[in-house]
Structure 1
Amino acid sequence: MPHPIPWSITRGSPGDVVTQTELKEHLRIDDSDEDDLIEDYRDTAERMVENELSISLQSQTLILRLDRFPAWKIPLPMPPLISVTTVAYTDVNGDSQTVSSSEYTVDTTSTPGNVHPAFGESWPSTCNISNAVVITYIAGFADAAAVPPEVRSAIMLVGGEGYENRERVTDLSLQDLAIYDRLMA
């Protein structure tokens, strides 16, 4: 049985990575009769690529929940990491606490980014409960221009596949695209 994902996402509105105009150019569509449909396929393609690659395409707030602090660093899913907003926990007495930002270091250059105790510090002890540690952070590319070109191409391919073959596409996955393996290599 798969384990639940211990993080949640508060997403911005989709559609910032590939514009509707770019997808229409990719599809060679000049009229605006199906703009709403094209926008839906673009939004879906962005989410599919984001989920498949486990990355944040645009700035979004994420929350990671852990039952306890690990020995040292905590990798933060859905890179690239921009910043850590809060590191909160339930102490051994059952009280909510927040770790001071001076007591931890944020590594935004690693992939995935991580947070770990500052030099000379250690993570505090927590109550023995589920989700005793809650880390709120922001991840995503600075803007659409910062998204790697191969990721933007994947979005256009998936959006185009959905639009062009909508009658046969029910559970479209990225692996169904003939070019997928080469694109993601």
Structure 2
Amino acid sequence: MTLIQTDPPLAEPVTLAELKAHLRIDAADEDELLEGLIRVARAHLEAVAGVALMSQGFRLLLDDWPRGSVIQLMKTPVQTIDGILVYDADGVAQDLALSDMLLDATARPARLVIKERPRPGQPINGIEIEFTAGFGSALEVPPELKRAILVHAAHLYEFRGAVTLAMQPASIPPGYDRLIAPWLRRGL
């Protein structure tokens, strides 16, 4: 199972102005750095929590259908299933009808059930599920997740001289884990 981001978010859940107000910065000379720290903090949160904060496209690649009837999409909330392709042995794609599915879009991770599941002919990545996930706008992002991004970006800004932007996130601020705890995937 491989999850690929096909369309990045067009905006961030936290604006530059919000981060500057949080940090009490008035000058514009570090705006580029601050925007980069917002992106790093958002990407880290999405990776550890399995959420998509802003609308973005994904492609889930499967070698075969799961043993049970439920396919876990690994991101939440899912807005739409955009297409399902199954490849035959010659690499020719067959489109599955989207009317034959049931989607639990807000589960963590989101779940999909497809009634008719033709066997893929190619042994690797024979199934592709394209979907759009994320909250509709920054206003819909839960406040604790926005706060986590602000706290994390501020922490990264505070320690910006110790580690380059490319090596971030180098550390997590105290209290961050408590902010995102309700959104983490738990396993037994």
Q: TM-score, normalised by structure 1?
A: 0.86
- The corresponding residue for 2:3 is 7
Instruction: Provide, for residues 26-78 of structure 1, a one-character-per-residue CA deviation record: whole Å limited to 9, x for no partner.
Output: 00011212112211111211112211212111111100000112241211112
- Confirm whether residue 178 of structure 1 aligns to residue 174 of structure 2: yes
Q: Distance in 1 between matches of 2:10 and 2:93?
A: 34
Counterpart among 75, 78, 98 of residue 75 in structure 2: 78
Q: Distance in 2 between matches of 1:79 and 1:124?
A: 26
Paired positions, count: 178
Residues 15 and 42 in structure 1, CA contact (< 8 A), matched pair in contact too: no
Q: Distance in 2 between matches of 1:175 and 1:161?
A: 8
Please report the RMSD computed on the Cα atoms of aligned residues, expressed in angstroms: 2.1
In structure 1, runs of 5+ residues without a counterpart are: none
Residues 13 and 53 in structure 2, CA contact (< 8 A), matched pair in contact too: yes
Which residue identity does 1:124 align to in structure 2? P
- The corresponding residue for 2:48 is 52
**Residue identity (%):** 33
Q: Distance in 1 between matches of 2:134 and 2:170?
A: 21
Aligned pair in 2 of structure 1 residues 111, 182: CA closer, same or farther (>3 Å)?
A: closer
Q: By how many angstroms is 1:14 displaced?
A: 6.0
* 1:122-137 equivalent positions in 2, closer than 5 A: 122-137=116-131
- Confirm whether residue 142 of structure 1 aligns to residue 136 of structure 2: yes
Residues 67 and 133 in structure 1, CA contact (< 8 A), matched pair in contact too: yes
- Confirm whether residue 89 of structure 1 aligns to residue 86 of structure 2: yes
Residues 54 and 134 in structure 2, CA contact (< 8 A), matched pair in contact too: yes
Residues 45 and 155 in structure 1, CA contact (< 8 A), matched pair in contact too: yes
Residues 81 and 138 in structure 1, CA contact (< 8 A), matched pair in contact too: yes
